[in-house]
Structure 1
Amino acid sequence: MTDTAIAWDTYSRQRPERRPTNARGETTWFNWTQYADHGPGAELLEAPAGGRILDLGCGKGGNAAHLAALGHCAVGVDVSPKQLAAARERWGQTAGLELHQADAVSFLREDQEGFAAVYSVYGAVWFTDPALLLPAIRERLRPGGWLAFSQRPPVEGCYGCQASYIPRGADEDPLVVKRWDYEPDGWERLLKEHGFTDVTAEVLAAPPGKRTTGTLIVQARA
């Protein structure tokens, strides 16, 4: 197992399971932010009915399962065996859902079918070098398809490749993974440089009564 897979397996053990239902009583739903019952839904993808949609860094599969429940062909990719095991346990019988263990760039380079939309929720777009990932996404997005992703806004002055620390036991050093942080205009510039159009990037404020940290949400068309 790669060091990256070990890191995300460790992270998986620290994450709570998705609730059985959300505030509206739905058993599947789409969530772009770190807050429950907050923010937009799958409509940001503007995917055609039955379209093939790729989740880069699908984790435990809740967002991809929702898209499958809507009738899309939802493809989830993650490097973590434990994340995928949890996804298969809960969502494995969902029609239209595919789950694959792979890193994002390798999967995109090997895919032969293409996608109506690609997305990442605090996932692989945040934790993969955009110089490698964005061209691979652009190559596999069908004309007019949308890339959308969300992540935590950057710390002021800390841009580009940064370190994220995943804690382990009390007597163990944390595991380290790389992430890529940019202000909204930085993501806009990068996406346009790689051939994307109609780029928007903005920070959605946290819901009232929560911490002040919002969610950076980015959309771009192939």
Structure 2
Amino acid sequence: MPARHDIAAERELWDAYAESVFAHDAEPRFRWTQYADHGPGPELLGAPRSVLEIGCGTGRAVAHLAQRGVHAKGVDLSPVMVAKARERWRATGARFECAEVLDFLAEDGATYDAVYSVFGAAWFTDPSRLFPLVARRLAPGGVFAFSQPPAIPGAYGPQGMYKGGFAGPALFTYRYSHTPRGWRNLLRRAGFTRVEARVLDAPTPGHIGTLIVRASR
């Protein structure tokens, strides 16, 4: 059975998350992994003049790039998240849009040198629908890159996730998990080339690593 996304319920879930997460984001920063001072930085995007982050959350990565002269835009489903990001990072020149990512990519007339996701929309959106739309928004030679936790062995495809606590209203979303090989195949089917997918080990042995994927149009 395919995943049944309830966008209104998912928006409510991310609004609730936004209320808590902004207290911990004091300055712009860009990192692909869940560990401080670990792994690659924005160099995975090449040297883009324009970028789009899908599922930008707090917007700190968008702000980091905007401070360095990149035309940087983020899109997120949560109006609370977007309002807070606009207020927090206004001085950097970063731009933020509130929209469901598939709708935004289908309707957006712009193209970008890079589209990326850091534990964002590439983790929470059906890749068979997302990847072709991302390809349409990339300039020739553009880069699509994303990071997220690696799949739990044997658990592939959409994985249901309730809002934390397992109590209260049944707010849930779906995460999408595949092996690195599975991600490579999905991207190639969507027309991407030079596809790389790997799991970067955590800085502490035995801890959860980070899936990092990079592809070109």
Give TM-score, length-normalised by structure 2: 0.91
The answer as to whether partners of 1:167 and 1:174 remain within 8 angstroms in 2 is no
RMSD between aligned residues: 1.7
**Structure 1 match to 2:83:** 85
Instruction: Tell me the amino acid that sits aligned with residue 3 of structure 1.
Output: A
Instruction: Tell me the amino acid that sits aligned with residue 15 of structure 2.
Output: D
Kindly report which structure 2 residues correspond to 1:70-149, keeping only aligned pairs within 5 A, or say none.
70-95=68-93, 97-149=94-146
The answer as to whether partners of 2:9 and 2:172 remain within 8 angstroms in 1 is no
How far off its partner does 1:93 sit? 2.3
Of residues 158, 175, 178, the one that matches 1:179 is: 175
More helix by share: 2
The alignment status of 1:9 with 2:15, answered yes or no, reads yes
- SS where residue 15 of structure 1 aligns? helix
Bigger shift: residues 151-160 or 172-181: 172-181
Instruction: Tell me the amino acid that sits aligned with residue 195 of structure 1.
Output: G
Instruction: Tell me the amino acid that sits aligned with residue 215 of structure 1.
Output: T
Of residues 191, 208, 212, the one that matches 1:213 is: 208
How far off its partner does 1:19 sit? 4.6
Instruction: Tell me the amino acid that sits aligned with residue 127 of structure 1.
Output: F
Of residues 42, 51, 54, the one that matches 2:52 is: 54
Bigger shift: residues 128-137 or 8-17: 8-17
Distance in 1 of aligned mates of 2:209 and 2:82: 27
Distance in 2 of aligned mates of 1:99 and 1:55: 9
Distance in 2 of aligned mates of 1:109 and 1:171: 36
Structure 2 portions without partners, runs of 5+: 1-6
The alignment status of 1:203 with 2:209, answered yes or no, reads no
**Structure 2 match to 1:189:** 185
The answer as to whether partners of 2:197 and 2:211 remain within 8 angstroms in 1 is yes
Distance in 2 of aligned mates of 1:41 and 1:167: 29
How far off its partner does 1:174 sit? 4.8
Instruction: Tell me the amino acid that sits aligned with residue 181 of structure 1.
Output: S
Of residues 66, 73, 93, the one that matches 1:68 is: 66
**Structure 2 match to 1:23:** none
- What is the number of equivalent residue pairs in this alignment? 211
Kindly report which structure 2 residues correspond to 1:143-182, keeping only aligned pairs within 5 A, or say none.
143-167=140-164, 171-182=167-178
Residue by residue over 1:160-209, the C-alpha shift from the partner in whole angstroms, topping out at 9 and shown as x without a partner, is 111122225x8514521011100100000110111100000011111137
Residue by residue over 1:16-64, the C-alpha shift from the partner in whole angstroms, topping out at 9 and shown as x without a partner, is 53453xxxxxx5321111112221111000033xx11000000011000
The answer as to whether partners of 1:81 and 1:101 remain within 8 angstroms in 2 is yes
Shift of the 171–126 alpha-carbon distance from structure 1 to 2, 3 Å rule, reads: closer
Distance in 2 of aligned mates of 1:30 and 1:5: 24
The alignment status of 1:28 with 2:23, answered yes or no, reads no
Instruction: Tell me the amino acid that sits aligned with residue 12 of structure 1.
Output: A
Q: Percent identity?
A: 46
